[in-house]
């Protein structure tokens, strides 16, 4: 289904084309960091819609579906900004049930979510499979942290996002993202492809 050619859709199509210049075929994982919980969700949803429009078998996930439990995050005392940054997400489960099996392709099953933070409990496993040239768009704060950098084929930072200072100092997200997107005018985002 063709999306209406609004300035936003046209900008996202241009971003998709830039990503496809490097990754024409095979499984592709794109990360979107919009700062704060859910900050990049709308952008990631819209980017996924443009990938679908292009005919790609496209899936959406969020780091919010891979939180750790409150008990784990507070095991050493009250939760702080630093403990949340260091322990707020279960990267091991993210890799084991989503990223690694998605990259394998074929009949390997993957899960788009493993934990419900609002209910503070794991979610029931729902395993999916996808075609050889599928796309996975993942949003979330801290997706550009050093421990996850190699997980993405392409990464996007929304430059108008409010970022955690510890994250900025540890990860330099603006310096490491493949694409910087200014969404000050959400109707017409402007992006810059970083020169390798």
Phi and psi angles of residue 91, each rounded to the nearest 5 degrees, phi first: -65, -35
Examine residue 1 and state whether it is found in any structural domain, yes or no. no
Q: How far apart are CA 156 and CA 177, in angstroms?
A: 6
Examine residue 21 and state whether it is found in any structural domain, yes or no. no
- How does the average pLDDT of the chain come out, rounded? 91
Residue 184 pLDDT level (bands cut at 50, 70, 90): confident
Decide if pLDDT at 110 tops 90.
yes
CATH at 166: 3.40.50.300
Examine residue 16 and state whether it is found in any structural domain, yes or no. no
Q: How far apart are CA 104 and CA 102, in angstroms?
A: 5
- Model pLDDT for residues 127-161, shown as the tens digit of each residue: 999 988 999 999 999 999 999 989 999 999 998 88
Beta bridge partners of 138: 31, 61
- Model pLDDT for residues 43-94, shown as the tens digit of each residue: 999 999 999 999 999 999 999 999 999 899 888 888 888 989 999 999 999 9
Examine residue 5 and state whether it is found in any structural domain, yes or no. no
pTM for the full model? 0.93
Query: Which pLDDT belongs to residue 115?
Result: 94
Examine residue 123 and state whether it is found in any structural domain, yes or no. yes
Examine residue 88 and state whether it is found in any structural domain, yes or no. yes
Query: Which pLDDT belongs to residue 3?
Result: 86
Examine residue 144 and state whether it is found in any structural domain, yes or no. yes
Domain membership of residue 67 as a residue range: 26-193
Examine residue 6 and state whether it is found in any structural domain, yes or no. no
Domains contained in the chain, number: 1
Decide if pLDDT at 196 tops 60.
no
């Amino acid at each position: 289904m063709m999306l209406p050619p609004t300035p936003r859709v046209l900008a996202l199509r241009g971003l998709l084309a830039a990503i496809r210049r490097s990754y024409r075929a095979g499984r592709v994982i794109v990360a979107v960091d919009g700062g704060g919980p859910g900050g990049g969700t709308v952008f990631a949803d819209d980017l996924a819609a443009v990938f679908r429009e292009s005919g790609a078998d496209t899936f959406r996930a969020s780091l919010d579906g891979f939180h750790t439990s409150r008990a784990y995050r507070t095991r050493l005392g009250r939760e702080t900004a630093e403990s949340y940054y260091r322990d707020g997400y279960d990267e091991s489960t993210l890799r084991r049930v989503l990223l690694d099996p998605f990259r394998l392709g074929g009949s390997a099953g993957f899960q788009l979510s493993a934990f419900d933070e609002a209910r503070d409990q794991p979610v029931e496993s729902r395993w999916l499979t996808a075609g050889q040239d599928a796309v996975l768009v993942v949003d979330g704060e801290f997706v550009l942290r050093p421990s996850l950098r190699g997980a993405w084929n392409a990464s996007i930072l929304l430059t108008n996002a409010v970022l955690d200072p510890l994250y900025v100092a540890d990860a330099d997200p603006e310096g490491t993202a493949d694409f910087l997107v200014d969404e000050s005018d959400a109707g017409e985002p402007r992006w810059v492809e970083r020169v390798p």
